[in-house]
Amino acid sequence: MSDTVTVTTHQSWFSRVGGSFVGMLFGLLMALASFPLLFWNEGRAVTTARTLNEGSKTVLSVSADAVDAANDGKLVHMTGLATTAETLTDPAFDVSANALKLTRSVEMYQWQESSRSETKTKLGGGQETVTTYTYDKAWSDEAIDSSGFQEPDGHRNTGEMPYDSDSWTADRATIGAFVLPADLVAKLGDGDAIPVPDSAARDGRRIQADRLYIGKDPDVPAVGDVRIRFTALEPQTVSVIAAQSDDTLAPYTKAGKPIAMASVGTHSAEAMFAEAKAANTMILWFVRLAGYLLMAIGFVLVFNPLGVIGSVIPFVGRLMGFGAGLFSFLIAVPLTLITIALGWVAYRPVVAVVLIAAAVGVVWLALRLRTGAAGKAAGGAAA
């Protein structure tokens, strides 16, 4: 059940005006930061796309069963059993597994604070803000500092995590006749949950499903209780794309950015490159959106003093604030597109010239058709 605390604060018009000008400077920095971010993103996406295109054309699918010296230094794709002879052990809990990677994930039951505010502007420009703080107990993989809560009394956490999350990777893993380095093993994920051995249930610890529980009652957790889950990336079939270096696989650096891919299961080189290209496109659009929002919100802060100054009469302030906000989001659209276009000119000059020529051609054709239509209309009127 949640606990709530309500706090009401007041801010004068003069204080709001001063704060809005401070926010204006911060907003200006945000807006300026969006331009290099958007420009850099275009270069990153182009470089990555070129790397993946070149890699997909040069990659060789080879057998993992034997090392062919003729392929040394080349980009190769292989599918095989990734395995190791090592047994990885978590020394704190005596949990072990024959695995490429062993991971310990720790969570602690703690108080969490969330807040919701409602602000009303009064005649004269002052504001009254009513903030409701809500406190719930939940599992978290990080220690939550309750000393910063609005109402720490009755909602105090125990402090540091008694155990940290951790992982162990095999010193030597292989795929067929090749050594599989740790950076490629890391790309395979953490694997699946493994059972907790009975030997780990001691010193107040107990086993709950696939977790180790430290506390009095798993069914009624208390603040400070801990649960630990263990996962293992056990030997299994994987697919890899990387450079062959003797009997080791390493990042391929001859196509621009380094290429080193690994995925659980059987996947063709075409499928792996297609997935990487899709991920590159997704990141491209995500950063474009983030850059646009950074710019728009920055402009909102830049023009925010207008709404604050006008809020002496609340209706006028809301109207000016809405107009400034709408203008900020609208002006950010062409500026974002121009920045992206400049990135294309810098990183894709040929494509940019073609697109600009096409755009000019469309505008010219539209004007031509409009002129022609106007001429016909004039001729018909004269007749």
pLDDT of residue 94: 87
- Predicted confidence (pLDDT) per residue in 303-328, tens digit: 999 999 988 888 888 899 899 999 99
Which region among 179-183, 365-369, 378-382 has the lowest average model confidence (pLDDT)?
378-382
- Max mean pLDDT range (115-124, 265-274, 369-378): 265-274
pLDDT of residue 255: 85
Give the 3-state secondary structure percentages of the chain, helix then strand then coil, rounded to 5. Answer: 45, 30, 25
Backbone angles phi, psi at 253, to 5 degrees: -115, 10
Where does residue 154 fall: left (phi above 0), alpha (psi -120 to 50 degrees), or beta otherwise?
left
Query: Nearest CA to 275 among 47, 56, 100?
Result: 56
pLDDT of residue 377: 55
Which region among 118-127, 166-175, 278-287 has the lowest average model confidence (pLDDT)?
118-127
Using DSSP, state whether 175 is helix, strand or coil: strand
At residue 379 the predicted structure's pLDDT band, cuts being 50, 70 and 90, is: low
At residue 374 the predicted structure's pLDDT band, cuts being 50, 70 and 90, is: low
Query: Nearest CA to 309 among 20, 4, 7, 10?
Result: 20
At residue 200 the predicted structure's pLDDT band, cuts being 50, 70 and 90, is: confident
- Predicted confidence (pLDDT) per residue in 94-131, tens digit: 899 999 999 999 999 999 999 999 999 898 889 999 99
At residue 355 the predicted structure's pLDDT band, cuts being 50, 70 and 90, is: low
Domain boundaries, the chain: 3-48+283-382, 58-265
What average pLDDT score do residues 273-285 get? 97
**To the nearest whole percent, how much of the chain has pLDDT over 70?**
92
- Predicted confidence (pLDDT) per residue in 35-53, tens digit: 999 999 999 999 999 999 9
Full-model pTM:
0.83
pLDDT of residue 12: 93
Q: How far apart are CA 264 and CA 250, in angstroms?
A: 18
- Predicted confidence (pLDDT) per residue in 178-193, tens digit: 999 999 999 999 999 9
What average pLDDT score do residues 200-224 get? 89
- The dihedral over CA atoms of 292, 294, 296, 300, expressed in degrees to the nearest 10, equals 180
